[in-house]
Amino acid sequence: MKTRFLTAATELTTERWASLTDGAENKMRDPFCSRPFLGAAENAMRSGDSPVGADDTLSSLGWRAHHLCLVDDDDEVAALLPLYIRTHSFGDFSRDWGWPDAWERAGLAYYPKLVSGMPFTPSPGPRLLVRADLPRAPWVAALITAAIAETTRLGASNWQCLFVSDEDAATLVNAGLLMRRGVQFHWRNADYKNFDDFLAGFTAEKRKKLKRERRAVAESGVQLRTLHGDEISAENWRDIHRQYRDTFARYGNYPAFPVEFFIEISAKLGRQLVVFTAQENDRIIASAICYRDDHALYGRHWGCDRTIAGLHFELCFYQGIEYCIAHGLQSFEPGAQGEHKLARGFTPVATWSGFWIADARLRRAVGDFVRREDATMQDYADEASAHLPFRRSG
């Protein structure tokens, strides 16, 4: 077994990357931990302008690819862990606010840190990939050992394995990583026949409010359409990207991906890219960009040219729910944050991220913090559940 590092996802051929799996039997795999998505994201970041003044010459947005590969005795890639050297925390959703100051008070530098996560994408999914014909457990253990060794070799403060699948979370716990709980709001498909079947479980008051929101959109006269990546022209993408960019600007944030990124992944991901649009006279005036795999729809970005009552909820939530029901998808994960999702039937679920801290003193301090925080996050999820719109049995 040998260890190699890739400075770009595109250094591995499409065929070799496709041979690596998370152990599940999926025909349509997670779109984010894929060569097309990571390759396009890395290309976009390499040519982008940094909003935070990072001085990383290989990636102006501070995502320097350092993907960890394990190679077998036949010199074939056997396992892979997406890995980035980070000089700041912008866009990784690690929630490590205040940690750099703690390291500085201890006389240590917090950056660089190593991150196994998807750029600007807080979506739970696979991180530890192993070739399908190999036994998974020993190669996963070897990936974790190699990541810890590389953290030490580079003098990085910590290794963060962010938004991992439940299976990977259990493995990381057993490997001694500190596991940190987050909360997102996901929709679950209870074998609903249609949208009305889903609404039948709501209280009468909540059901009427939701129907009123949808009726306002219908009466506005806009036409709603669902487009997949292979149906979206470059001209369409310029409209959609403008809306994506304007949303970030409205809230004082930075739109990381240029229009070329979306045109590229539209061609490469095809049906795994889903955009819900509102149109007037064949012109797209609002859009919600999503991705999908075999079992889930993932909401990512929203934008509009003008405000129409209820349109945000229609494109970002209700169209996605109808899509999941029609295509037999089991869940809809519309992104981080947003208690307003509760009233639309999205339930709080735990997300997990693992941390290996190099310095023993700070490892103990972070461990204490994570344990205290965990109780708060559980209380938050319990409190949020009390505001779900569903009728209560008994």
CB 360 within 8 A of CB 366: no
Give the CATH number of domain 190-329; options: 3.40.50.300, 3.90.1150.10, 3.40.630.30, 3.40.718.10: 3.40.630.30
**For position 254, what pLDDT does the model report?**
86
Report the relative pairing of strands 84-86 and 223-228 from DSSP bridges.
unpaired
> What is the average per-residue pLDDT within 11-30?
87
Residues 320-363 have pLDDT tens digits of: 999 999 999 999 999 887 889 999 999 999 999 999 999 999 99
What is residue 155's DSSP assignment? T
**For position 351, what pLDDT does the model report?**
96
Burial class from Cβ neighbours inside 10 Å (0-12, 13-18, 19+) for residue 377 reads middle
Decide if pLDDT at 100 tops 90: yes
**For position 60, what pLDDT does the model report?**
58
**For position 61, what pLDDT does the model report?**
72
Q: For 126-165, b where at least 16 C-beta lie within 10 A, e where not — what string?
A: bbbbbbeebebeebbebbbebbbebbeeeebbbbbbbbbb
What is residue 295's DSSP assignment? S
Q: What is the mean pLDDT of the chain?
A: 93
> What is the average per-residue pLDDT within 251-264?
92
The two domains 2-183+349-385 and 190-329 share their CATH topology (first three levels equal): yes
Over its C-alpha atoms, the chain yields an Rg (Å, rounded) of 22
Task: Show me where the domains of the chain are located.
Answer: 2-183+349-385, 190-329
Neighbour count for residue 12 (Cβ, 10 Å): 21
> What is the average per-residue pLDDT within 226-238?
96
**For position 169, what pLDDT does the model report?**
95
Helices 259-269 & 234-250 angle (0-180, nearest 10): 130
**For position 394, what pLDDT does the model report?**
36
356, two tokens: 């290996």
Q: Does the domain spanning 2-183+349-385 belong to CATH 3.40.630.30? A: yes
> What is the average per-residue pLDDT within 111-135?
96
List the one residue out of 144, 7, 136, 3 whose CA is nearest residue 72: 3
Residues 39-93 have pLDDT tens digits of: 999 998 876 544 444 444 334 577 999 999 999 999 999 999 999 999 999 999 9
Phi, psi of 343, deg, nearest 5 = -65, -15
User: For residue 224, what are the β-bridge partners?
Assistant: 278
| E strand or H helix at 333 | strand 331-333
Q: Which of 8-12, 248-252, 256-260 has the lowest mean pLDDT?
A: 248-252
SS3 assignment for 79-107: EEECCEEECCCCCCCCCCCCHHHHHHHCC
